[in-house]
Amino acid sequence: MKEYLKRIYAMLIYLFLYAPILILIVFSFNASKSRGVWSGFTLHWYSELLKDRQILSALYNTILIAVLSALIATLIGTAAAIGIHNMKKLKKKVIMNLTYLPVVSPDIVTGLSLMILFVFVKLQLGFLSLLLAHITFNIPYVILSVLPKLKQLDKHLYEAALDLGATPLEAYRKVILPEIMPGVVTGMLLAFTLSLDDFVISFFTTGSGVSTLSITVYSMARRGINPKINAISTILFVTVLLLLIIVNIRMSGNHNKKER
């Protein structure tokens, strides 16, 4: 009986959380502009997205920044994770605390701080500042994704590769990197997802003429709820959901392999 009640309780919680999103998805296929009247199924609003230059430009910027920031953050974060892993205990603890700070800090604090920094160094707010901001907040997540895989490695694996004639670079590239690759890929997917979904930090660090989808949706919503917003939001939600499912499947698969 208790298990049955727990399941009902969990279902009610998830229903409360996702019912608004489900309604938004349903009304993205509504033929009417009305937000409360269903007048038939249509894909009209999705086709309208393809004709909206503002949305297409924002989509291009969003994907480009997400891909670039994920790749660069993955390179930097992986190298940083390897360095942190080889540190002494005290230094490692200090660096890990510093790594956690951007993760637990509110986005508005991070966004405002980065904006002040860019203004201080006289970097014009625009595409470059937006890309640097996304790389900055993505790096800690990559580090935290790669470090667990490094901890699972045999500490003598690197030394064995050197003893067999590999250079330090070859040992990392041919021995260490393949072993930690699941963590690297997970970190990259997580970085891409976070970049794709970010609004607050992007809002503070972008300039005129450069806009992401989240900023465009916010601007459109201020002028009234356009059905195209429902369609954009549906696409964003489904994209992020699929990426998170992929990340979770990879993490679960790695955990099962470790247990076996």
CATH of the domain at 193: 1.10.3720.10
**Single pTM value for the model:** 0.81
Backbone φ and ψ of 222, nearest 5°? -70, -25
Asked whether residue 213 carries a pLDDT value surpassing 90, the answer given is: no
Question: Do 15 and 121 sit in the same domain of this protein?
Answer: no
Distance CA 192, CA 206 (A): 18
Distance CA 67, CA 64 (A): 5
Asked whether residue 258 carries a pLDDT value surpassing 60, the answer given is: no
Question: Do 62 and 173 sit in the same domain of this protein?
Answer: yes
The pLDDT score that the predictor gives to residue 129 is 93
Q: Are 150 and 96 in contact (CB under 8 A)?
A: no
Question: Do 38 and 91 sit in the same domain of this protein?
Answer: no
Report, as an integer, the average pLDDT of 62-75: 94
Question: Do 105 and 174 sit in the same domain of this protein?
Answer: yes
Q: The domain containing residue 196 runs over which residues?
A: 51-259
Q: Which of 39-48, 106-115, 119-128, 194-203 has the lowest mean pLDDT?
A: 39-48
Question: Do 100 and 120 sit in the same domain of this protein?
Answer: yes
Q: With bands split at pLDDT 50, 70 and 90, how would you rate the model's confidence at 119?
A: very high
Question: Do 70 and 136 sit in the same domain of this protein?
Answer: yes
Asked whether residue 251 carries a pLDDT value surpassing 70, the answer given is: no
Tally of domains within the chain: 2
Distance CA 69, CA 75 (A): 10
Distance CA 201, CA 136 (A): 10
Report, as an integer, the average pLDDT of 141-162: 84
Question: Do 195 and 100 sit in the same domain of this protein?
Answer: yes
Distance CA 258, CA 182 (A): 12
